[in-house]
């Protein structure tokens, strides 16, 4: 059985005991969260496609870790004006372990 869920504006295909890296969600390490934006559920030959969401479908996950991505450098410059700005950005992420996929 697998499902397609939307987390942080991105779609992920998840199975039980899978680990995914998502945008930061509300919660702390070790908390259990419910992902209710399930777009599709597949269990063998039984396929449920949402319009846009599958009614009653919930994916339960545990927050395993809070991470940050590699630093992205942002450099702006205007020639002959002496204007130079250098910034860095690290996006916050969370590692989620999928515990259960249930279709109501």
Mind listing the pLDDT tens digit for each residue in 24-41? 999 999 999 999 999 999
Q: Tell me the C-alpha distance between 3 and 1, whole Å.
A: 7
- What pTM does this model have? 0.83
pLDDT in tens, 83-97: 999 999 999 999 999
Residue 9 has pLDDT above 80, yes or no: yes
pLDDT at 37: 95
Interatomic CA distance for residues 82 and 30, integer angstroms:
49
Phi-psi group of 99: left, alpha or beta (phi > 0 → left; psi -120 to 50 → alpha; rest → beta): alpha
Query: How buried is residue 3: exposed, middle or buried, by Cβ count under 10 Å (0-12/13-18/19+)?
Result: buried
Q: Taking residues 6-10, what's their average pLDDT?
A: 94
pLDDT on residue 74: 98
If you average pLDDT over residues 46-64, what whole number do you get?
A: 95
104 pLDDT exceeds 90? no
């Amino acid at each position: 059985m697998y499902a397609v869920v939307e987390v942080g504006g991105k779609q992920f295909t998840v199975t039980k005991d899978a680990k995914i890296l998502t945008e930061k969600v509300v919660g702390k390490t070790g908390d259990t969260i419910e992902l209710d934006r399930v777009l599709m559920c597949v269990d063998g030959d039984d396929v449920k496609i949402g319009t846009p969401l599958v009614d009653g479908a919930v994916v339960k996950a545990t927050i395993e870790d809070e991470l940050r991505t590699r630093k992205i450098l942002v450099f702006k410059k205007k020639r002959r004006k002496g204007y130079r700005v250098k910034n860095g950005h690290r996006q916050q992420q969370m590692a989620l372990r999928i515990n259960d996929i249930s279709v109501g």
